[in-house]
Amino acid sequence: MSTAMKFTLDGGDVLFTDEELCQVREMPEQTIIAHKSQQTANFVQIYDAQYKKWQVSILDVTGTTQDRILQIINELAEMVFYPHMDYDGSVSYNVILLPDEVKKFYAFGRREALNKTTFNLLESSK
């Protein structure tokens, strides 16, 4: 299994394999920027520059997948996102998680279902 996606957090790297990774969709560039705050959650302001947004879907296929997903969801600081590790590990973006857009659902019905987590990332600086 090769590494398909990587996040660099304050606590180290979080890796996801090609088996776990369902999809990374890059959305049209947005004219917004996310700001970090020491007291509260990140907030977003509109500017003239263009910023990217991604929708990431991950299948819970190993015993540690959910723990690694929670590391991403619980990270309050800016992260470095490598969306294409399997074919170009040099491409990275500074991102934050959009916390209100985390979704979990079962991929294959009720019995022996795989849990699929989808969340959105916003480019926070260039």
**What domains sit in the chain, N to C, each tagged with a CATH number?**
3-125 (2.40.30)
* Strand ranges of the sheet holding 43-59, from the earlier edge strand across to the other edge: 12-17, 3-9, 79-82, 93-106, 115-125, 43-59, 21-35
Q: How confident is the model at residue 38 (pLDDT cuts 50, 70, 90)?
A: low
Beta bridge partners of 125: 94
| Pick from 27-31, 56-60, 70-74, 119-123: least confident | 27-31
The number of beta carbons lying within 10 Å of the beta carbon of residue 20 is: 21
Answer with the residue of higher pLDDT: 102 or 53: 53
What is the reported pTM?
A: 0.77
The number of beta carbons lying within 10 Å of the beta carbon of residue 51 is: 19
Give the mean model confidence (pLDDT) for residues 46-60: 79
